[in-house]
Amino acid sequence: MKNKRVRSMRDISTIHALKNHVVPANREQLISEYARLEHEKARLKRELDIWAKNKERTEERIYNVQERLNQLQSLLNDMPGEGNLLIFQESSEEKSEKKTGYAEISIEY
């Protein structure tokens, strides 16, 4: 079974896309289309370079975050405590606010 490619905004046919299917009638149109396609190719190469640089930068950031996570995990494991987990206790007021959905306040006149 062939996987279907996800369609995006780039797949929508526009007037520019439709005119690409027309055979050029004369030399001017051929030269014009050739130049336009050269510019499009250069633009796509620039876009690909930008994507590659962003990918490298993102991978480096992911690596740095993972290193920091490993450092924090080792610090947590070295701390004495119950199961080496940080547990935040809720106050009774916070629990009642969650149950009722609103906070009770008193107003004096």
Please state, in angstroms and as integers, the Cα–Cα distance from residue 102 to each residue in 70, 90, 98, following that order.
39, 16, 7
- Structural domain includes residue 92: no
pLDDT above 90 covers what percent of the chain? 39
Band of residue 78 on the pLDDT scale cut at 50, 70, 90: confident
Print the domain residue range for 25.
15-77
Please state, in angstroms and as integers, the Cα–Cα distance from residue 107 to each residue in 102, 104, following that order.
15, 10
32-60 b/e with 16+ CB inside 10 Å = b?
A: eeeeeeeeeeeeeeeeeeeeeeeeeeeee
DSSP letter at 20?
T
Closest CA to 32 of 16, 47, 48, 46: 16
- Structural domain includes residue 22: yes
- Structural domain includes residue 108: no
Band of residue 50 on the pLDDT scale cut at 50, 70, 90: very high
- Structural domain includes residue 98: no
Closest CA to 40 of 32, 27, 21: 32
pTM for the full model? 0.45
Overall number of domains in the chain: 1
State the pLDDT at residue 88. Answer: 47
- Structural domain includes residue 68: yes
Band of residue 79 on the pLDDT scale cut at 50, 70, 90: confident
State the pLDDT at residue 84. Answer: 46
